[in-house]
Amino acid sequence: MTASLAGKTVLVVGGTSGMGYALAEKAAAAGANVHIVGRSVARLTEAKYSITGNVTIHAVDLRNESEVVALARTVARVDHLVTTAADNIFKPFVELSNEDIEAMLTTKLWGAIYLIRHFAKRISPEGSITLFGGAAALKGSPGASIVAALNASMDGLARTLALELAPIRVNTLSPGVVDTPAWDFLPTNDRAAVLGSIGSSLPRGRVGTAEELAQAAFFLMTNGFTTGTVLQVDGGANA
């Protein structure tokens, strides 16, 4: 039976796309008051009208701490905070510019820091924080050096903050490759081939779906005894 989130407030940063969107849908279906955060007003509006339930949208760029401060004032109390936001750039390490690296760090690491800093005292003691890392933290992959370092930073934050912020639960979901709009930077013809080839190398024989990862995030959010955990949901990438 799916846990009820009736009367709970769930803030999904990155809830306009991919795994965040699938989670926002799931939380709304479970009765939560869902707040979705992203930068694109068009994507926010589309999410608001395509998800059934109680959905509020906020155009916020996580890279600006002042915008996160304003968001925290607007959404005064939260039960569950989730952030999927990332700006991943895949290139060989020696080709990465400081601007590339700064863009990645500012969204995923500083974004999570700003959110936790300004929301921790607004999250109910029975509530939770769910961060998104990724399988690159555990297994080397050429072109993913900073992505790997950032994903590992999410794992470290969850383990440490589960102690510092207790009884609030803090976990990281570590996806393997998942078919989401994050892969739309690939030319259409290459996209299916790349995801197909990665999928066929996995024990499950395919890449993941946003819905499968939303199920895992929903578990981390609602299971009251899970904290300080890095949950790998990766089709067996590290088996």
- Provide the residue type at 6 as one letter: A
Only one of the segments 61-69, 94-102, 122-130, 158-166 lies at the binding site for ligand NAP (rule: CB under 6 A); that segment is 61-69
Structure tokens at 39: 């930068």
Pick the stretch among 114-122, 156-164, 175-183, 217-225 that binds ligand NAP (CB under 6 A): 175-183
Q: Which stretch binds ligand NAP (CB under 6 A): 14-22, 155-163, 186-194, 214-222?
A: 14-22
Give yes or no for residue 132 binding ligand NAP (CB under 6 A): yes
Does 167 bind ligand NAP (CB under 6 A)? Our answer is: no
Residue 235 in the binding site for ligand NAP (CB under 6 A): no
Q: Which two tokens stand for residue 18?
A: 């991919």
| Adjacent-strand bridge partners of 11 | 35, 81
Q: How far is the CB of 108 from ligand NAP (least distance, A)?
A: 6
Report which of 125, 115, 47, 53 is spatially closest to residue 82, judged by C-alpha positions: 115
Q: Tokens 């769930």 sit at which residue?
A: 10
Q: How many C-beta neighbours within 10 Å does residue 9 have?
A: 23
Torsion angle in degrees (nearest 10) through CA of 206, 51, 107, 227: -70
In whole angstroms, the minimum distance from the beta carbon of 6 to ligand NAP comes to 25
Nearest to 182 by CA among 10, 20, 13: 20
Residues in 178-197 that interact with ligand NAP by CB under 6 A = 178, 180-182
**H or E stretch covering 80:** strand 78-83
* Smallest distance, ligand NAP to C-beta of residue 184, A: 8
- Bridge partner residues of 179 (DSSP): 209
Query: Shortest Cβ contact with ligand NAP: which residue?
Result: 18
Question: Which positions lie near ligand NAP, rule CB under 6 A?
Answer: 13-14, 16-20, 37-40, 43, 60-63, 84-88, 107, 111, 132, 134-135, 175, 177-178, 180-182
